[in-house]
Chains A and B, each alone.
Chain A
Amino acid sequence: MIEFRNVTKILSGTKVLNNLSLKIEKGETFVIIGRSGTGKTVTLKHIAGLLEPDSGQILVDGQQINGTGKSQKDRLREKIGFVFQSGALINWMTVEENIALPLVEHKLYPPDEIKRIVEEKMELLQLTAARNKMPAEISGGMKKRASLARVLVRNPEIILYDEPTSGLDPVMSSLINTIINKIKEDHSITQVVVTHDMDSAYAIGDRIAMLYDGTIIQCDEPDGIRNTTNPIVRQFITGSLEGPIDIL
């Protein structure tokens, strides 16, 4: 379980997270929606321990991740995988080398076993044809899938996705949504997805939370969000220009 207790974060003088509290249950796919710049990625980075809050606590499986040392963070991160928005693949390594990187660096398995695991994940994510390509030579969708494959080889208990479908065509977005759902079915991994793509949010989310002004203003199942009476959430999901959201 992931828990935020009264987390506040100020970046460049702006209160990005304002006394944020939320609980994400084990095995669920939790989607955080909200406008660009409202702190969705900041929330993810707090779960990953990449950012420290100014106040409050973040707990992962009952263990506090903020304010801990590097070695304890590394131990907690063994459970967590992060699929970055840009893929964040190491640019001088091939797709295959990128996927194998965490296993090779930590010498977790013998080389043959690493090869087998990487092969399996490349097949799952339809990356076999791109195995020898460099990150600069592949599409955005492939980068995201390669990034996900690199996360999956470590068998994480939690996967964090930062805008997994942004910049992708509808077919590629559907493929990513299908993969996220398949991971949930096959491995019952806790997944936290940050997006402003509502089709994707409805397709993958067990619960959807809307982040606005640094705090969660509504958290509900997809149908609850779809039929919301909250004017801010309604304006966001319909993409209307009329409503309480300050456009500027």
Chain B
Amino acid sequence: MGSKVRKIIYNFVYDIGANTLNIIEMMGYSMLLFLEVLYHSKAAFQKRSEIVKQMYYAGVKTFIVVSIVGLFTGMILALQTGLELKPYQQQALVGNIIIATLTREMAPFVTAIILIAAVGSTMAAEIGTMTVSEEIDALEMMAISPVKFLVMPRVIALAIMLPVATIYTNLLGSIGGGIVAYFQLDVSFDVYYTHVLDSLHFKATYVGLLKALVFGMMVSTISCANGLRATNGALGVGKATRNSVVSSFVMVLITGYYITALFYGK
């Protein structure tokens, strides 16, 4: 019994240690990969058609889901805050709250989450499949850098498309908020949009877009890094995809906090 418990504790500690080492190794690998992407970005013009193709996948193909999520994010925010403000007859302020929340935090975060699920996971699976089916080795044998050929166009495309999608989420979110304000909170569209424009600050907008830019580069790099490190066939591709989604999500949360702290903290 004693040796069984010891074995369970040993395995538990071993797993924690092994996973921690894997996470640190993958973080290091992702950072080096990002530096390599920066180096190869000088060939961005040469790879413009691939970048545009990736932008299409990241933007156009996620258009509907971004629209729905953006609209409903604004609607939920308006309903939750409006119902709290209504007893004090302050529901007109819902426009201020929505635009401030969306531009600073919610829009880049929500958009990043959608793109992690829809685009990042696809990148990890696609590149992971190429890794396990020796296509990456084949590129190396042709002296074609997989980073220049595959990763750089994806990173640039998502770095462009995440801010664009964030602007769109801001717009849809504020429209959604306006609909709820009008139908549920008795706030006219005129009043709602006056308050929205009142609180639409330049700093909040550019900090939000900066976050989106950083998230875009981070999500695509992490996803591609996991794909390039995939091993063991279909099982490995699945693992790489799951790891890319989890790591991207955690990193978006952590980085989002630090960017906010950098611009709005003490």
A positions within 8 Å CB-CB of B:
45, 48, 50, 74, 77-78, 80-82, 84-86, 88-91, 101-102, 105-106, 147, 150, 154
Question: Which applies to chain B's interface (DSSP): helix, strand, loop or mixed?
Answer: helix
Could you tell me the distance between the alpha carbons of A103 and B263 in the complex, rounded to whole angstroms? 48
Chain A CB count within 10 A is highest, among B129, B135, B138, for: B138
Contact of B19 with A by CB under 8 A: no
Are B138 and A82 in contact, CB atoms less than 8 angstroms apart? yes
> Which residues from A are CB-within-8-Å of B140?
50, 77
A88, A102, A154: which contacts B134 (Cβ < 8 A)? A88
Could you tell me the distance between the alpha carbons of A106 and B141 in the complex, rounded to whole angstroms? 13
What's the minimum C-beta distance from A84 to chain B, rounded to whole angstroms?
5
> Which residues from A are CB-within-8-Å of B137?
45, 48, 50, 82, 84, 88
Are B142 and A154 in contact, CB atoms less than 8 angstroms apart? yes
Could you tell me the distance between the alpha carbons of A78 and B134 in the complex, rounded to whole angstroms? 18
Are A80 and B130 in contact, CB atoms less than 8 angstroms apart? no
Contact of B133 with A by CB under 8 A: yes
Are B143 and A88 in contact, CB atoms less than 8 angstroms apart? no
Per-residue A-contact encoding for B142-159, CB less than 8 Å = 1, 0 else:
111000010000000000
Chain B residues within 8 Å of chain A by Cβ, number: 14
What's the minimum C-beta distance from B265 to chain A, rounded to whole angstroms?
42
Per-residue A-contact encoding for B9-49, CB less than 8 Å = 1, 0 else:
00000000000000000000000000000000000000000
Could you tell me the distance between the alpha carbons of A150 and B134 in the complex, rounded to whole angstroms? 15
What's the minimum C-beta distance from B154 to chain A, rounded to whole angstroms?
13
B130, B135, B142: which contacts A102 (Cβ < 8 A)? B142
Could you tell me the distance between the alpha carbons of A86 and B142 in the complex, rounded to whole angstroms? 16
What's the minimum C-beta distance from A63 to chain B, rounded to whole angstroms?
15
Contact sample, A vs B, 18 pairs, CB 8 Å cutoff: A48-B137, A77-B140, A77-B141, A77-B143, A82-B138, A84-B134, A84-B137, A89-B135, A89-B138, A90-B130, A90-B135, A90-B139, A91-B129, A101-B142, A102-B142, A105-B142, A105-B144, A150-B142
> Which residues from A are CB-within-8-Å of B129?
91
What's the minimum C-beta distance from A81 to chain B, rounded to whole angstroms?
7
Are A80 and B149 in contact, CB atoms less than 8 angstroms apart? no
A78, A86, A150: which contacts B143 (Cβ < 8 A)? A78
